[in-house]
């Protein structure tokens, strides 16, 4: 067993303050701090990972672009996409980064199977795909032996901004989402179902914490560890 995982449902949150809150929590945590899973959505934003190349931003237009410290290339976040951020102590959990990526992929594939959708992972490109179309992206950072960032799952969103980038650095990569695959989506319910599959994949027990859908700040950082 990897331990206990606190799940926080945070609603719609701006990207930059959320990223900052993840870093602050990671920097101040100690051996007694809880592992956490943050479930949320972001307003429209393109993010470039550490390996991100500006040439993969084809036409960002009026959508903000943020250079971040996660792994990977460029992706898009917007309302209607489930974002799952994992704040885990890898050493305490006995997990390696490859095992964590595999766990995230397997949890997503299991979630899709629950909806009758066959999904698969690819050894050459982390994430989850349905009929060669990407439905979930993964980008992580390890800091002080702990993870931040995580996974985004296209649920019921406007997919057109993906045409303004080379998703994950792959020109012409097609994307899809649950709504286009016949799933009636309610993001909180999808998030809770995903949490269950992730807990099973990684060996965690879950505890859901009610939070207010207000911008992340010191009040969120000081909430239960």
Angle at 39 between CA 37 and CA 45, to 5 degrees: 120
CB 94 within 8 A of CB 65: no
Q: Which of 10, 111, 153, 168 is catalytic?
A: 168
Of 194, 157, 197, residue with least CA distance to 175: 157
Burial class of residue 155, CB neighbours in 10 A (0-12, 13-18, 19+):
buried
CB 154 within 8 A of CB 129: no
Catalytic (active site) residue 168: yes
Q: What is the β-pairing status of strands 146-154 and 81-87?
A: antiparallel
Query: How big is the chain by its Cα radius of gyration, in Å?
Result: 16
Angle at 192 between CA 186 and CA 194, to 5 degrees: 100
**Dihedral of the alpha carbons of 104, 216, 186, 47, in degrees to the nearest 10:** -60
CB atoms within 10 A of CB 88: 26
Q: Which residues are catalytic?
A: 168
């Amino acid at each position: 067993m990897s331990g206990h995982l606190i799940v926080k449902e945070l609603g719609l949150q701006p990207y930059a303050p959320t990223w900052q809150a993840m870093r602050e929590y990671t920097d101040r945590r100690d051996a007694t701090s809880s592992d956490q899973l943050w479930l949320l959505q972001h307003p429209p934003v393109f993010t470039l990972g550490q390996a991100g190349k500006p040439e993969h931003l084809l036409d960002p237009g009026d959508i903000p672009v943020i250079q971040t410290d996660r792994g990977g290339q460029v992706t898009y976040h917007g309302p209607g996409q489930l974002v799952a951020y994992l704040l885990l102590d890898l050493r305490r959990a006995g997990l390696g980064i490859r095992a964590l990526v595999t766990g995230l992929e397997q949890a997503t594939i299991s979630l899709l199977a629950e909806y009758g959708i066959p999904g698969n992972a690819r050894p050459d490109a982390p994430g989850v795909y349905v009929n060669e179309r990407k439905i979930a992206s993964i980008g992580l950072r390890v800091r002080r032996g702990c993870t931040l960032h995580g996974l985004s799952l296209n649920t019921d969103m406007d997919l057109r901004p993906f045409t303004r980038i080379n998703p994950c650095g792959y020109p012409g990569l097609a994307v899809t989402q649950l709504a286009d695959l016949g799933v009636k989506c309610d993001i909180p319910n999808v998030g809770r179902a995903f949490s269950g599959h992730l807990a099973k994949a990684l060996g965690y027990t879950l505890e859901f914490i009610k939070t207010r859908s207000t911008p992340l700040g010191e009040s969120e950082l000081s909430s239960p560890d």
